[in-house]
Copies of this chain bind each other. A is one copy, B any other.
């Protein structure tokens, strides 16, 4: 038992001191250490945090001491559920009061149905029994044969569960290699050695199997004994924010409870012609927070890829209808940017230009035209806007800016060269007879296509040109239809689709990434951070004028799309909780510490009113990765360029052989970060895209964690 005294410890310090104490014990040799908590599983600890939350970073296996008093069945089962809700494993239940106690029989059956063994123990003699001066009663109690046997069985159970746990962690990679077809994995290059066994996760950290321990145990053949002496698990910073989904930390009890509540209240309800509260509230929350007066309707699907399929279907119908195309004979194309990526279903693959990702998919037929675009990079401590290769004449040469903020002050910059180039290109495409159904873009950062920070001015100009020049896309008919429209927010030129799946919902520091461009798309797609890293869900938001394109007396004109779990209650409720948390963080200024490092003289100023809706906007460009660090990083010999925005950091490593998806330039750095534990004892798990290694914090990452990683990264380079 750990005596904490009266000192008010921070939660993390308390957990760490328990961890250190246990580590010290484990070095001393074989044995079982028990951390006895005070009061019930949810009794408050020193800081006021509930104990089960407080100790959750350790996720120690639990021996639940059941309550043998009247009402103890209910409170014991409740305690069990509160532990499960936080991802604890319960090794055994102890119930005092002897084998005949009333609660024992019930609890034994109940917990058996949850695969947990319950043991009945005699009530110990009262501690302050004056008559028992020589502690005879206590000795008798522990000496009683039956009783001692029960204790032995409990200890056996603990040891058995421990062995099983280690065995499981040990076996996961090999078994996965046998049965799992991993996403984006060339399995010929995979072995069980490079499969990471994830035992659990908390906050920004995975607890991963420590292959060295497992190996050394196998060699020593001592199993349990040596396992008790070495650390089986190792914490690894989740450097991809769990594939870009995570924002509020793993094992967040609020999100778990939100999921559980929706599961308990609804399960799932089919959404055709029906509505439930979480789906409606989420739709209303998104419409309100995106502050885009065009968006009026919310369509639900299950992930970014399906949400983009819906966006494509919406846009195609709207443009085909206005411009009077016959879709059975006319091939309608998408307008977009090179290096774009909208998901892995075949329809949205077709929205991107041929690339490593899609060109070997037999049914892939790229349908579109994709612009080269200028990118934003920090090189050797200075921010640049660089033209795409071969287009220096059209876009001007690489130009440096005094801050990232200056680049994002798009309304102050000169867009005439971009405008001229875009117009000339569209003129040519139009002359070739090409028909376009939508402009589709990931605003600001093109993610999966290689982590490119696009010049926001180019993206803004592209939208402007498309909206002001219907003549490139359709005939007079379209123009007439539009002029007679009463909807001031009707789409112009082409429906503008923004894929904010990766970039939206605070990933780049703001609720909407479209706001960086000062543009209101007609269709906007949101997923990933939407559900805070828990379950898949996607929303496709559309304007009234897009929606109207599907209205008719004929059912078959409707958007005949829907997945069985459309607007599943669990996802919608988790999303509501997730958005609430993040918007509250923004309001309370939780990111002020990070923002400070990016604050220059011209920060947080008002821009001129948006011509479309006259709302005013405060622009702020900042990252959770510190400004000086990004600058330092860009000075490193092996680094080609860097950028940071919101929680995203992208580092391009120099590669003589080229920079595409198949580049292996960043592999060495990635391995180093995963192998070399820093001074805090943890490693960094990261993902690479070709020669780009990126790191993604969650919206709740602690500054000390990120600063430590910055140090590790600088040292690794």
Which A300-318 residues have C-beta < 8 A from chain B? 300, 302-306, 309, 312-313, 316-317
Instruction: Tell whether A219 is near chain B: CB-to-CB under 8 Å.
Output: no
User: Are A75 and B77 in contact, with the CB atoms below 8 A?
Assistant: no
Instruction: Tell whether A524 is near chain B: CB-to-CB under 8 Å.
Output: no
Instruction: Tell whether A363 is near chain B: CB-to-CB under 8 Å.
Output: yes
User: Are B181 and A42 in contact, with the CB atoms below 8 A?
Assistant: no
Chain B residues lying within 8 Å of A542, measured Cβ to Cβ, are 181
Cα of A554 to Cα of B188 in the assembled complex, Å: 9
Chain B residues lying within 8 Å of A272, measured Cβ to Cβ, are 182-185, 243, 687
Main secondary structure of the interface of A (DSSP, over half): mixed
Q: Which one, A13-21, A152-160, A560-568, A709-717, is touching chain B?
A: A560-568
Cα of A206 to Cα of B266 in the assembled complex, Å: 8
Instruction: Tell whether A425 is near chain B: CB-to-CB under 8 Å.
Output: no
In this complex, the interface size class of chain A, counting residues with CB under 8 Å from chain B, is 35 or more
Cα of A39 to Cα of B78 in the assembled complex, Å: 13
**A245 with B565, Cβ < 8 A, contacts A183-B272, A560-B356 known:** yes
User: Are B184 and A263 in contact, with the CB atoms below 8 A?
Assistant: no
Q: Which one, A167-175, A460-468, A588-596, is touching chain B?
A: A167-175
Which A212-231 residues have C-beta < 8 A from chain B? none
User: Are A243 and B564 in contact, with the CB atoms below 8 A?
Assistant: yes
Q: Which one, A28-36, A195-203, A612-620, A641-649, is touching chain B?
A: A195-203
Instruction: Tell whether A22 is near chain B: CB-to-CB under 8 Å.
Output: no
Cα of A184 to Cα of B301 in the assembled complex, Å: 12
User: Are A363 and B259 in contact, with the CB atoms below 8 A?
Assistant: no
User: Are B263 and A259 in contact, with the CB atoms below 8 A?
Assistant: yes
Q: Which one, A136-144, A407-415, A545-553, is touching chain B?
A: A545-553
User: Are A251 and B263 in contact, with the CB atoms below 8 A?
Assistant: yes
Q: Supply 14 A–B pairs (Cβ within 8 Å), ascending by A.
A: A42-B73, A180-B275, A181-B540, A190-B273, A200-B266, A256-B264, A260-B260, A268-B533, A302-B306, A303-B564, A327-B360, A358-B560, A361-B560, A535-B536
Question: 10 additional contacts, CB 8 Å, given A243-B272, A257-B260, A305-B563?
Answer: A50-B74, A51-B74, A59-B265, A185-B558, A185-B559, A187-B558, A200-B265, A250-B266, A356-B556, A536-B564
**List of 6 A-B pairs having minimum Cβ-Cβ separation, nearest first:** A183-B562, A346-B347, A87-B265, A40-B74, A87-B264, A250-B267
